[in-house]
Amino acid sequence: MKTLPPRVLEDILEQITSRKFPYEPKEEKQRDWSAYNKARVKELSNVLDLIKQYVNDVEEYELPKKQSNMGPPEEISVHEKAKAVLLTELLQADERTASDWVNILGPRLGIMHEMAPRTIGRAYSDDRVITLLQLVHKKTSTAIQGKEHSFSGDSTGLKKTNKVNYARDKEDEEKRKDFNMLTIMVANNYHVCTALLSQQGPINDAPTLPIIWKQTLAIHGDYITEAQFDAGFISRNNVGLVAETAAPYFFPKKNLTLKPLGVLAWRDMLWECVTNTQEWLRGYHPRSNVETYNHQNKKKPRHRNNQQSHNRKLRSTKRRQRRTKNRPNPKIRHLKNIRRTAP
């Protein structure tokens, strides 16, 4: 029977969390910067083409029927509304700004009608639009079927008000009520979201894993070989569930024991973490991809107005003045040197 001396797991966790563990980094991959630059130059153009392609691929019979046929027929189709929603999210624009962008970029997406800000806003709660976007999400995951073998999961908070910040306030029980919880799984190499679940927060991560795991298995079950999750997801049931299909990598919490309690994969995972920590961390490290995915999708472009720009320059000037306060003025030193050398 596998046993460990007391506090071995806790000591290793302390070394890892304090960044004192002698981790041997992998060799950096060679990057094709020429291809990268070309991809970034054509990024917006490619994304617009993908939005048009995937939305158009959804057939009318796949969507729920309209609730009522009363009144005049709608001029703006559900496909056009879905494209407008995706364009709004792509540009991180408010409804008024998005309305103008739809008029500018609409023909490129196949949107043949102008849209008022209120029309775009109502599209977010339209059942037919929501169903269409869910089908688009499934199609994007299907596109990498058989190509991806490693997946990671993570949860994050979606704020209901601008007065809170998830990274800062997630430990505050009162402020956590101002977030909805989004749980996702992401392909570690292709960075495609393969599963998502949005719920009213706050909730724990562990109960959400079976749902997102089932969504991922529905498309990638025959190809997945490993999966990574942080300590919020760890439980014997979750480790056993993942181990049925792939190698589980759950970051341990403190005060855990190797007792399997019917789940042998639990003991094997922790034993590997303790006895072969270097290789185990290599297997766990790809989970950083899902955190990068969350960060990039939640980050909004910064638009500074003139007052903000002025304040930023003022703060920079004050910092520079504090740094040079005790330094001799170079102009004065230069004048002294001239006087000394004068005939």
Domain ranges of the chain: 31-65+72-129, 146-299, 306-341
Average pLDDT, the chain: 83
As a whole-number percent, the residues of the chain with pLDDT over 70 amount to: 77
Task: Give the position of tokens 């504090």.
Answer: 322
CATH topology of domain 146-299: Nucleotidyltransferase; domain 5 (3.30.420)
Evaluate whether 223 touches 241 at the Cβ level (below 8 Å): no
pTM: predicted TM-score of the whole model, two decimal places: 0.77
Residue type, 123: A
Contact status, residue 286 vs residue 150, Cβ threshold 8 Å:
yes
pLDDT range class, residue 304, cuts 50, 70, 90:
very low
Inter-residue long-range contacts of 61-70, CB under 8 Å, 24+ positions, other chains counted: 62/131, 62/135, 63/128, 63/131, 63/132, 64/127, 64/128, 64/131, 66/128
Mean pLDDT of the region 123-152: 93
244-268: pLDDT as tens digits? 999 999 999 888 888 889 999 999 9
**What CA–CA distance (Å, rounded) separates 239 from 248?**
6
| Range with the poorest average pLDDT among 65-79, 229-243, 267-281 | 65-79
Q: Poorest-confidence range of 27-41, 62-76, 99-113? A: 62-76
| Helical (H) or strand (E) element with 145 | none
**pLDDT above 70: residue 328:** no
pLDDT tens digits, 98-112 = 999 999 999 999 999
For residue 297, the model assigns a pLDDT of: 79
Give the residue-averaged pLDDT of 203-228: 93
Query: What's the pLDDT at 287?
Result: 94
314 — pLDDT class (breaks 50, 70, 90)? low
* 163-189 pLDDT per residue, tens: 666 667 666 766 666 678 889 999 999
